[in-house]
Amino acid sequence: MIGAIQETGRVGPAELITTQPYVELDKRGITEGHVMRFVLIALLLLAEVTNATETFECQSGDYWDIDGKILVTARVFVESGGATIEVAGVVYLANYRVTGFNRRWDFVEVTDERYDYAFIMKPAGRATYYDFSKSASVKNEFPTQSFICKQTKSDPD
């Protein structure tokens, strides 16, 4: 619905009137942009994981253990421009980019272009996780965890 939900003081279906260009929930002014972002996230997360163009599986530590537990799965959907980070059964929509030789997934957006978390992978598969959620500046943060990753799927489209 692309309109506002306003109370008219009546009880029943007649109390829903669409007159403003935003949806008002709990007086927080959820904009149409928020609704569209939610729809995009939902559609991306509902897409089959097998449609990922590139998939990386990551374990904690410095060396790959063939029997080791996969803690992080990072995916890139080149065709749609989307990306996800999956950890502990939770899938986050991520802002993905390549910076120099490094791949970077930023997730949990706080404001435009400001994210709480980053996952950065070097070409040899070494990755670091950064938590900016309690930091005023992202420039002086140290990684809170390191991983070793390997590419498990690549679609050479």
**104-110, long-range: CB < 8 A, 24+ apart:** 105/74, 108/133
Q: How confident is the model at residue 34 (pLDDT cuts 50, 70, 90)?
A: low
User: What is the biggest distance separating any 2 CA atoms in the chain, rounded to whole angstroms?
Assistant: 65
- Reported pTM: 0.66
User: Is the pLDDT score of 152 beyond 80?
Assistant: yes
Predicted confidence (pLDDT) per residue in 141-150, tens digit? 789 999 999 9
% the chain with pLDDT above 70: 62
Least confident of 33-42, 51-60, 76-85, 107-116: 33-42
Q: Name the fold adopted by 49-154.
A: Porin (2.40.160)
Residue 50 backbone dihedrals phi, psi, to 5 degrees? -70, -10
- The mean pLDDT value for 38-46 works out to 61
| Beta carbons of 112 and 94 less than 8 angstroms apart | no
- The mean pLDDT value for 129-147 works out to 83
Predicted confidence (pLDDT) per residue in 72-125, tens digit? 999 999 888 899 999 999 999 999 999 999 999 999 998 877 899 999 999 999
Residues, the chain: 157
Q: Distance between CA 148 and CA 23 in Å, rounded? A: 44
Domain layout of the chain by residue ranges: 13-46, 49-154
